[in-house]
Amino acid sequence: MITSGFPFLRPRRLRRNENIRRLVRENRINHDDLIYPIFVRYGENVVEEVPSMPGVFRYSVDKVADAVKEVRDLGIPAVIIFGIPEHKDEVGSDTWSDEGIVQKTLRVLKKEVPEMYLITDVCFCEYTSHGHCGVLHDHEVDNDATLENLQKQVVSHAQNGADMVAPSGMMDGMVRSIRIALDDAGFSHIPIMAYSAKFASAFYGPFRDAAESAPSFGDRRSYQMDPANSREALKEVLMDVQEGADVVMVKPALTYLDIITKVKENTLLPVCAYNVSGEYSMVKAAGKLGWIDEKKVMLESLISMKRAGADIIITYFAKEVAEMINRGEV
């Protein structure tokens, strides 16, 4: 016979209906968590869907403001810009040209959508003829030569209206070099969001389709991190903190939730998780086939990043999530 009051502790009391579940919910997704990636390419009157990323588009400069206005109107505070130039060369010189694709985009967006916070991805893979993230020497990326070009790139971005720069190439010393360049050019107020723990992941495939950035030979394992390493990830993050990063990032997100937690527990800086293209496309593909409830899996994935410790999430789902929030479905 079960006696009165047994069991005494009943966690189910706080799960009984949606109202009480809402009251005790520990983590939530809201507009202020989200950054939406924007792909901008050369040409005119271009709005083209990325084949491997349903719902994600590449825009020409003359069309990008309309796309960003849509993001703004949904309540999302920031976008991160990825450029696809018309001409590529060995060093990616489009990245520091005033007529570069990102620079043109920044000027248009600052004029047309001045309230949007503009972050620029700072790298070279989309801009080099070989598809690697820096200057090559004997088929290897020359770290220190690449740092000099990164300095030119970030100053040009800042001069054309970037609110934040986000170096993603995993070069040693990149944060310190960028901080020095920005400060010396009079941009000490521009923050750096470092791709601090960026792993050499198989989940980047659709992005390379979107950004036309696949390497022409080899891979990026000599500069991006080994997926097997967690202590090294924390080392990379703490180095970037010491060098002057303002925000640190873990990329990818879903298979690196343990890394997000380690970073959150060991730094006082805001932590960003990049919900990358492969993570997005897998959900979209399985949802299209009817194998999963796409919206529920999307939300569960994003809340797992928050639960792990992410303060900010870069995600291709940002517009869909914002629409759900606006409808009161989240």
CA distances from 7 to 3, 11, 21, 141, 315 (A): 9, 10, 21, 63, 43
- C-beta separation of 179 from 258 below 8 A: no
pLDDT at 3 exceeding the cut of 70: no
- For the whole model, what pTM was predicted? 0.94
- pLDDT tens digits for range 23-82: 999 999 999 999 999 999 999 999 999 999 999 999 999 999 999 999 999 999 999 999
> What is the pLDDT, as a whole number, of residue 217?
61
In this structure, what DSSP letter does residue 128 have? B
Q: Encode burial over 305-316: b for 16+ CB neighbours within 10 A, e otherwise.
A: bbebbbbbbbbb
- pLDDT tens digits for range 251-260: 999 999 999 9
- C-beta separation of 248 from 271 below 8 A: yes
The residue ranges of every structural domain in the chain are 29-326
Number of helical (H) and strand (E) elements in the chain, helices listed first: 11, 12
Name the pLDDT band for 277 (thresholds 50, 70, 90). very high
> What is the pLDDT, as a whole number, of residue 90?
80
Mean pLDDT of 184-202: 97
Superfamily classification of domain 29-326: Aldolase class I (3.20.20.70)
Would you please indicate which residues are annotated as catalytic (active-site) residues?
Answer: 198, 251
For the chain, the maximum distance between any two Cα atoms, rounded to a whole number of angstroms, is 81
> What is the pLDDT, as a whole number, of residue 166?
97
Residue keyed to tokens 């170096």: 167
DSSP-assigned letters across all residues of 172-235: TTHHHHHHHHHHHTT-TT--BEEEEEEB--GGGHHHHHHHT---SSS-STTTSBPTT-SHHHHH
> What is the pLDDT, as a whole number, of residue 238?
98
- pLDDT tens digits for range 194-251: 999 999 999 998 877 776 666 666 566 788 899 999 999 999 999 999 999 999 999 9
- C-beta separation of 298 from 320 below 8 A: yes
